[in-house]
């Protein structure tokens, strides 16, 4: 990490449910919470706990100097709603095979 920029990743004991327009997209008891300087905490859920059958791979890719190149997935009414890092940088290797969501309702139990 560069000076002044940190990323920490921790396992949460919370049950995390992701809902978009009333439809459950994911539910996990194995979520990771990523804390990054200047960003809100983000939940990364194992891909096995995500309804991948509802998502379509996107052409969008973005690059983060701290995490690597992100790939995106969309719903018919929500472009690039989900992202993940198929080959994350070694410092954040824990998020490999995990997905994160924009603009959805999260519930923790």
CA 106 to chain centre: 12
d(CA 65, CA 5): 11
d(CA 106, CA 37): 21
Which residue ranges make up each domain of the chain?
7-108
Confirm whether pTM is higher than 0.85: yes
pLDDT tens for the 109 residues of the chain, in order = 567 899 999 999 889 999 998 999 999 999 999 999 999 999 999 999 999 999 999 999 999 999 999 999 999 999 999 999 999 999 999 999 999 998 666 666 5
CATH topology of domain 7-108: 2.170.150
């Amino acid at each position: 990490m560069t000076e002044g920029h940190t990323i920490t990743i921790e396992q949460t004991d919370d049950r995390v449910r992701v809902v978009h327009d009333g439809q459950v997209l994911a539910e996990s008891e194995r979520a990771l919470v990523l804390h990054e300087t200047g960003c809100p905490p983000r939940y990364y859920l194992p891909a096995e706990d995500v309804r991948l059958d509802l998502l379509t791979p996107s052409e969008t890719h973005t690059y983060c100097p701290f995490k690597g190149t992100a790939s995106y997935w969309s719903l018919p009414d929500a472009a690039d709603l989900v992202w993940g890092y198929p080959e994350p940088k070694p410092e954040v290797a824990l998020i490999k095979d995990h997905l994160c969501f924009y603009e959805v309702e999260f519930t923790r139990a």
